[in-house]
Amino acid sequence: MATILTRMGDGHSVELTPDQLRREVVEGSEDAARRARIPALDENEVDYLVDLFAYPGRITGVERGREVVLTKDGCANTLYSGQMSSGVGIPLAREQGVRIFERAFCFDTMEVAHPDYSFKPAKPLIALERTTMEQALLDTIVPLFYGAMPNMGLYFRPDGPYRNPADLLPKGLIAEARETQVGAAAALRDDMVMVGTEMAAAGADGIDFDTTASAGDAEFLATLEAIERLADTTDLAIEVGMATELVLGFHGELEYKGTRLAGLWPHQQVKVVEQAGAHIFGPVATTRTDRTAPWNVARATTFVRECSRVAEIPVHANVGMGVGGISMAEVQPSDVATRAGAALVEIGGADGL
Amino acid sequence: MSICHALASGMGGIKTAGDLVARMQLRKMRLAEAKRYVADALGVGVRDLTDSTVMRALREELDIGVITAVPGSAKGIEAKLRIADLLGVPINSVERLRERASGSL
């Protein structure tokens, strides 16, 4: 029997029979459906994914005319940064990197960002960040965002001034753990508003909050509040990319306009992000390295499809390393990356990636 | 990996009309509406938006920035000035330039 060559979630190759491939797609979708209480992919959609992974070509893509808008995280760090960003270490200034992505790689948008890609380290260097943005805006044609991660973990000891909830929770100090998260969230919110305001003054087209809610519901709340303020006071387009498919409740009781944030899935996350005033939403589904690429892509597609169905703003499915069905691997297999993108657009209904 | 996505799924940026459709998404338009809006503004079909043969010529004709380095063609903010007028939408960096240059021009 002919087998189909595909990969595991960690990028290693694996061969599946046609029946095994179909089973992987169905089970991946059903996993998402069961967890988020959303519909699984129907028979036609399963057939599409089976055909996608059974196709022997190394790369594939969407049909002509079905192309979507690409937004970017990390500026051009894949060019000038090191292994930590899967960067290839080419000595380039950020302005050069942005132009390469515009002209050589034909990206639809781009972003300026600090190599230490979080709001906390960017804030003390805001003068440099703003200067870089101002200069890049003069030279480029594509929309330019300023991007950074909320990354509330940097506000906790030893990296920041607030007591670390990861130290408090194992001691049963739940009230104290909640209090410190609320304090850190307020500081984070103010920093994000400050950076966003400076970028608006620079003339940036937008701001990108990447890996939102990585530290859970308090970080999500800080980001939503920052979005509200920036939407009210600036003309920035606001993009929100999430960290994972489920908002983790490290606090557990925080709400935004009556909606408890802990436990939200992508189709629910997009609604509070819309309420806050954002313009683009990026749902995430984390890749499981112990499952196959078809399983992971089917799972991610199921989450994104429901998110796209209910969204009123554009949905840009996250397809970076380890999310959206993409392999959790330092060097990306092109066969999986192109299939994941095609699936999220053609079946997931994403407006972008 | 970025190149994978650009080749497999991306609209093509300034090689085609990807940047223009992106600007409409920044105004909360979903993809179909954004493509329709830009196609109408350019006077082309939606399918033409990602056709580099059509768009390369059209972008040069409209002088809104082309992918190759052509002397005398609009570049950077020059192109964005024209794009803002073409699409009928404000572009922040263009508005900033107009404010800073007011009285000088």
Task: Specify the pLDDT at position A1.
Answer: 77
Task: Specify the pLDDT at position A23.
Answer: 98
Task: Specify the pLDDT at position A55.
Answer: 97
DSSP SS3 for B46: helix
Share of chain B above pLDDT 90, in %: 93
pLDDT digits (tens, 9 = 90+) for A64-81: 999 999 999 988 888 999
Q: How far is B49 from chain A (nearest CA, A)?
A: 8
Residues of chain A found within 8 Å of residue B92, distances taken between Cβ atoms: 200, 203-205, 235-236
Q: How far is A188 from chain B (nearest CA, A)?
A: 25
Closest C-alpha to A151, from A124, A178, A182, A184: A184
- CB nearest A341 (choices: B9, B47, B65): B9
Residues of chain A found within 8 Å of residue B93, distances taken between Cβ atoms: 137-138, 144, 203-205
**B104: pLDDT confidence band, cut at 50, 70 and 90?**
low
CA A124, A207, A192, A211 dihedral sign is negative
- Average pLDDT score over residue span A32-57: 98
The residue of chain A with its CA nearest to that of B93 is: A203
Sheet holding A280-282, edge to edge: A110-118, A144-149, A206-212, A237-242, A280-282
Chain B touched by A68 (CB under 8 Å): yes
- Average pLDDT score over residue span A179-196: 98
Given a cut of 60, is residue A344 above it in pLDDT?
Answer: yes
Given a cut of 90, is residue A31 above it in pLDDT?
Answer: yes
Chain B touched by A341 (CB under 8 Å): yes
Given a cut of 60, is residue B105 above it in pLDDT?
Answer: no
Q: What is the mean pLDDT of chain A?
A: 97
Task: Specify the pLDDT at position B1.
Answer: 84
- Average pLDDT score over residue span A209-228: 98
pLDDT digits (tens, 9 = 90+) for A80-131: 998 888 899 999 999 999 999 999 999 999 999 999 999 999 999 999 999 9
List the Cα angle A269/A273/A277 in 5-degree steps: 170
Say which residue the tokens 């790689």 belong to: A105
**What is the 8-class DSSP label of residue A170?**
G
Residues of chain A numbered 208-247 and touching chain B (CB < 8 Å): 235-237
- CB nearest B8 (choices: A72, A312, A338): A338
Task: Specify the pLDDT at position B98.
Answer: 95
pLDDT digits (tens, 9 = 90+) for B43-53: 999 999 999 99
Q: Which residues contact A212 (CB under 8 A, 6 or more apart)?
A: A149, A150, A219, A220, A223, A240, A241, A242, A243
Residues of chain B found within 8 Å of residue A346, distances taken between Cβ atoms: none
pLDDT digits (tens, 9 = 90+) for A242-263: 999 999 999 999 999 999 999 9
Q: What is the mean pLDDT of chain B?
A: 96
Q: Do A351 and B30 touch (CB under 8 A)?
A: yes
Q: What is the ipTM of this complex?
A: 0.97
pLDDT digits (tens, 9 = 90+) for A260-272: 999 999 999 999 9
Q: How far is A177 from chain B (nearest CA, A)?
A: 37
